[in-house]
Structure formats: structure tokens, C-alpha cells
């Protein structure tokens, strides 16, 4: 019986302390982790698509970094997202909140890609003796 009373007192004291101090610290750690992971995935995706971090990239490393920061820095978790995260699901509220941010970042990236393509050298053509045309973009 004493064990039960002590256990109830312990949890009566620890639960509000966790809610006031532990939960905000946990949320901050999860946000930082999510942002870092999203940034890494973004950089890897740009490299896989040969848009950045490769020798023939259309984007400069600075533009790629700005884009990835734009996409990943807007992640803000709330207490309602914890249940979905505990079940290892993508939080629906976070997905809906990030959709306009990502679309704005994609629009900025598209404009940067258009400027990079238009600022490049004009393609030139060469013809082989058999009449085959080869277009050079570099």
C-alpha cells in the first residue's frame, strides 16, 4: 500500500514538471533533428538530380544551400504532432502547414534554374560528313 501511495505522489510531482520542462525540450530536440535530416535529404536529392554539388550543376552551392534552408527551416512541430510521430507517421497538420512554404521555395528554385539556363552559352551545331547534326550545349 505504501508503494502505491509513493508511486502516485511521485507521478503527481513528475508529470507537471515533465509537461512544463521536459516536453518543450523534447519538442525542440525533435525539431532540430527533423530540420537537420530534411536539410541532408534535400542536399542529397539535388546532388542525385545533378542540380547542385556536382561539376556540371546548374545551381551554385550557395543557391542549393538557400533552397534547402528554405525548405527545412520552416518545420515547426506542435504537441498535436507527437502522437503521429510516436506512431512513425507523417503528421498531417505539419504536411498541410509546409505545403505553401515548399511551393514558394520551389518557385524560387525554378526561377533560379531559369536564370541559370538563360545565362548559359547558346548551343552550337556541328554537322558530320554523313549529314548528322550534333548540338553542343557547352
pLDDT digits (tens, 9 = 90+) for 69-102: 999 998 888 888 888 888 888 888 988 999 999 9
Q: Taking CA 80 as the corner, what is the angle to CA 12 and CA 17, rounded to the nearest 5 degrees? A: 25
Give the cell for residue 89.
507517421
Longest CA span, the chain: 99
Q: How many CA atoms lie within 13 A of 104 on its CB side?
A: 11
pLDDT digits (tens, 9 = 90+) for 113-135: 888 777 766 778 888 899 888 88
State residue 120's pLDDT score: 67
Residue 138 has pLDDT above 70, yes or no: no
As a whole number, mean pLDDT of residues 4-21 equals: 91
pTM metric for this prediction: 0.73
Burial classification of residue 1, based on how many CB atoms lie within 10 Å of its CB (0-12 exposed, 13-18 middle, 19 or more buried): exposed
Amino acid at each position: 500500500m505504501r508503494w502505491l501511495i509513493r508511486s502516485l505522489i511521485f507521478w503527481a510531482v513528475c508529470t507537471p514538471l515533465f509537461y512544463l520542462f521536459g516536453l518543450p525540450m523534447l519538442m525542440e530536440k525533435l525539431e532540430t533533428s527533423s530540420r537537420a535530416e530534411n536539410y541532408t535529404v534535400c542536399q542529397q536529392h539535388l546532388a542525385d538530380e545533378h542540380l547542385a554539388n556536382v561539376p556540371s550543376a546548374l545551381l551554385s552551392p550557395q543557391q542549393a544551400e538557400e533552397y534547402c534552408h528554405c525548405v527545412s527551416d520552416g518545420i515547426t512541430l506542435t504537441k498535436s504532432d507527437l502522437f503521429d510521430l510516436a506512431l512513425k507517421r507523417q503528421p498531417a497538420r505539419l504536411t498541410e502547414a509546409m505545403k505553401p512554404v515548399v511551393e514558394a521555395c520551389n518557385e524560387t528554385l525554378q526561377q533560379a534554374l531559369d536564370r541559370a539556363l538563360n545565362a548559359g552559352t547558346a548551343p552550337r551545331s556541328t554537322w558530320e560528313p554523313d549529314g548528322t547534326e550534333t548540338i553542343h550545349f557547352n
